């Protein structure tokens, strides 16, 4: 019998789908494959037979419904499904419909309030890929609209906006720019991004470790064990390693109290940064809850 990882990619994907439906719905049928992959019934039957050859203990045919049902007590997955991939699949409309979730609009996510222009985004990624500068018109919150030359290095998402990390030669500094604030973007093909520019962005290249714990204020968090379980903490801590350039953005997105004396109040502050000294000389620290320079 051929190893599961040696079968053709299209067959591998269908076998993985069979297991996904078993694991997350509890049953699978030939029609799942014929409708999802536009297969004939004979091909769908072969795929189910092949899956059974590799994992016979995982499913059993219900003669009344003609559906293959999961054997919960014997089930051992053939495919390693990360929680990230599983959640991603649940968000797709076809999978949600197959699982019976579409009656309530599938798996709801908060809508994004702002999307970058697709032409702006594609120009930025092409410039990064080809190591070329950008001529842009940008609308800043404080200074308004201006024309800039930027050397693009990377992009990141803070959960609300997409950002461009770039070097601004006029200010001789590295900064993060909101992609939705670009009015126009043009690739400067005659102006390359040199390798040392990437190496010299110390805030991007510096990694900081964040140690998050349940918030000590009993009014914020009455049951710290619940928070520890909620975030899968080990020894009462959740340790994350992130880039210094984005640390403040993400701490704000997570509502982490970053004050030294855990003084922020409110039920939405469920986490506290217990190693607050890790943000020393971190450029984005002013965005972190409790450390904002805007009062």
Tokens (6 digits) for 129? 């890929």
Whether residue 156 is contained in a domain is answered as yes
Is 60 exceeded by the pLDDT of residue 141? yes
Alpha helix stretches (DSSP H) within 25-92: 30-37, 41-54, 83-90
Structure confidence at residue 5 as a pLDDT band (50, 70, 90): confident
pLDDT-based confidence at residue 103 (cuts at 50, 70, 90): low
Domain shared by 75 and 153, yes or no = no
Identify whether 228 is part of a domain. Answer: yes
Torsion sign over Cα 71, 75, 80, 86: positive
Residue 293 domain-assigned (yes or no): no
Query: Which of 104, 131, 146 is a domain's end point?
Result: 104
96: number of Cβ within 10 Å: 18
One domain, residues 183 and 247: no
CATH number at residue 77: 1.10.10
Task: For the chain, count helices (H), then strands (E).
Answer: 10, 12
Within-domain flag for 109: no
Instruction: Work out whether the CA dihedral 96, 82, 236, 254 comes out positive or negative.
Output: negative
Check whether residue 212 and residue 198 sit in a common domain: no
| 159 & 220 share domain | no
Per the structure, the count of domains in the chain is: 3
Q: Which domain holds residue 98?
A: 4-104
End position of a domain, from candidates 43, 73, 104: 104
Residue 30, domain member (yes or no): yes
Is the pTM higher than 0.85? The answer reads: no
Whether 169 and 233 share a structural domain: no
**Residue 86 domain-assigned?**
yes
> How would residue 295 be classed by pLDDT, with cut points 50, 70 and 90?
very low
Residue finishing a domain among 202, 226, 255: 202
Say if residue 245 is exposed, middle or buried (CB neighbours under 10 Å; 0-12, 13-18, 19+): buried
Let me know whether 198 and 125 are in one domain.
Answer: yes
pLDDT at 196: 87
Task: Please compute the mean of the pLDDT values over residues 30-39 and round it to a whole number.
Answer: 92
pLDDT digits (tens, 9 = 90+) for 117-136: 999 999 999 999 999 999 99
Kindly state whether residues 37 and 21 are assigned to the same domain. yes
Given the structure tokens 């093909």, which residue do they identify?
A: 189
Q: Span 144-159, mean pLDDT?
A: 95
């Amino acid at each position: 019998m051929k190893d599961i990882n040696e079968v053709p990619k299209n067959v591998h994907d269908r076998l993985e789908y069979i297991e996904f439906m078993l694991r997350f719905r509890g049953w699978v049928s030939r029609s799942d494959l014929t409708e999802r992959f536009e297969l004939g019934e004979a091909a769908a039957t072969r795929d189910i037979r092949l899956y059974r050859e590799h994992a016979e203990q995982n499913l059993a045919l219900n003669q009344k419904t003609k559906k293959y049902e999961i054997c919960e007590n014997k089930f051992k997955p053939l495919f390693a499904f990360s929680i990230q991939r599983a959640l991603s699949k649940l968000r797709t409309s076809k999978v949600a419909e197959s699982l019976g979730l579409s009656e309530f609009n599938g798996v709801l996510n908060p809508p994004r309030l702002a999307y970058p222009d697709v032409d702006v985004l594609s120009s930025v990624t092409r410039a990064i890929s080809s190591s070329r500068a950008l001529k842009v018109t940008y609308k800043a919150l404080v200074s308004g609209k201006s024309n800039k030359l930027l050397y693009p290095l990377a992009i990141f998402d803070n959960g609300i906006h997409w950002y461009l990390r770039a070097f601004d030669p006029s200010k001789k500094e590295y900064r993060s720019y909101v992609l939705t604030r670009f009015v126009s973007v043009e690739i400067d093909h005659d102006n390359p991004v040199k390798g040392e520019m990437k190496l010299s962005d110390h805030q991007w290249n510096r990694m900081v470790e964040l140690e998050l714990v349940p918030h000590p204020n009993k009014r914020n968090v009455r049951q710290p064990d619940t928070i520890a379980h909620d975030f899968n903490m080990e020894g009462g801590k959740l340790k994350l390693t992130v880039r210094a350039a984005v640390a403040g953005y993400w701490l704000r997105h997570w509502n982490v109290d970053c004050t030294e004396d855990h003084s922020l109040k409110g039920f939405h502050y469920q986490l506290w940064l217990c190693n607050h000294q890790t943000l020393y000389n971190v450029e984005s620290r002013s965005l972190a809850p409790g450390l904002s320079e805007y009062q």
